[in-house]
Amino acid sequence: MNDKRKLSLLARFAFRWFVSSLGLWIAAGLLGDSIDYQSKLRVIVIAGFVLAIVNTIIKPVVVILSLPAILFSLGLFMIVINGLMVLLVSALYEPLHVNNLGAAMLAGMIIGLVNYLVLTILEDE
């Protein structure tokens, strides 16, 4: 793999990490007691890193395995998958605590919205 491609992959991962952290922070602020990060920015940054790794490695496999459910629900099952990825991060990284699947699904929707908004802003520039 050449250096330019490696840099591109690192830049995309860094962007995914930033958006995941920002989305988690906004979701924790909006959902209040449903997501606890001990009011520490360090917890959000590390949880964002773990979420970026989970979304890079595990989520594509889960999406492929659940393709029939995604197609049957016209894509709405992706909300559940995003929530499950947030719950998985909560299980893997103890300082981040998400109360239930509902809160995780809302957090997943907020993270997706933040991702969309950041991409839209960057594409306009």
The tokens of 3 are what? 């250096």
Percentage, residues of the chain above pLDDT 90? 81
The string of pLDDT tens digits covering residues 93-107 is 999 999 999 999 999
> Is residue 22 pLDDT above 90, yes or no?
yes
SS (H, E, C) 98-121: ECCHHHHHHHHHHHHHHHHHHHHH
> Under a CB-based contact definition with an 8 Å cutoff, are residues 66 and 81 in contact?
yes
Report domain extents, the chain. Answer: 3-124
Q: What is the model's pTM?
A: 0.90
